A = this chain, B = another copy of it.
């Protein structure tokens, strides 16, 4: 499975104890990342934009780390995503995401 961002530490337990839920989540995850036209990187940047827009700082951090690790996303690329957050979700989510980014890069 490609995407581990939302799965965190509880997922192994969910897999063991609630196998039906786990399998449905894995299935969904595979389906959403099997886009027909957009590449994986673009899809991940969109997910990052959404996580940041709703001020989910934990998911934002995980998406940033994953973007840096999986396809070597630069700080400028991530800031370009956050520009859209500033436009469509306003200053507070933008500032939070910038703080997360700076904490990661230091």
Give me the interface of A with B, judged by CB distance under 8 Å: 3, 6-11, 13-14, 18, 20-21, 23-25, 27-38, 42-43, 45-47, 49-51, 53-56, 58-59, 74, 76-77, 79-81, 83-93, 95-96, 98-99, 101-102
Contacts and interface: CB of A to CB of B under 8 A. Distances in A.
Contacts of A93: 90
A10 to B, nearest CB: 5
Contacts of A38: 45, 77, 80-81
A66 to B, nearest CB: 13
A87 B21 contact: no
Contacts of A36: 76, 79-80
Nearest to A42: B42
B6 A92 contact: yes
A31 B21 contact: yes
Nearest to A21: B31
A92 B42 contact: no
